[in-house]
Amino acid sequence: MEKMSLTALARQQLKLAATSSSGRSSQTVYGGHQRSLRQTVVALSAGKKMAEHDSPGEATLYILSGKLLLIAGEDSWKGSTGDILFVPPARHGVEALEDVAFLLTVAM
């Protein structure tokens, strides 16, 4: 059994994102390409975006800190600390409304 602090990891990734030219940082905490479940902590600096992309499978975003906008076509959903957003099975992107860290969970 392993244990880790997502709060501490989110803080670390936010610091890395702040010093990155892309304004983004991430670390997979469980799974990967060889598993059917993958969980990744992603951090984005305020105003930065994850460009529109296809959904590789069922996915959720659990916001660990900050605020974001999940955008899919004409639809969008705001999320803030403690919220979980269900990623639609369509092309989508994410915009950081303020510095944000979230747990992306994808089931392939």
pLDDT tens sequence across 18-57: 999 999 999 999 987 778 899 999 999 999 999 999 987 8
CA-angle at 77, arms to 49 and 52, nearest 5°: 35
The answer to whether residue 22 is domain-embedded is yes
Is 91 a domain residue? yes
Residue 67 domain-assigned (yes or no): yes
* Segments forming the whole domain that contains residue 68: 6-107
Q: Report the alpha-carbon distance of residue 58 to residue 90 in Å, rounded.
A: 10
Number of structural domains found in the chain: 1
Q: In this structure, are residues 103 and 64 in contact, taking their beta carbons and an 8 Å threshold?
A: yes
Name the CA radius of gyration of the chain, rounded. 13
pLDDT of residue 52: 92
CATH number (domain holding residue 49): 2.60.120.10
Residue 1 lies in a domain: no
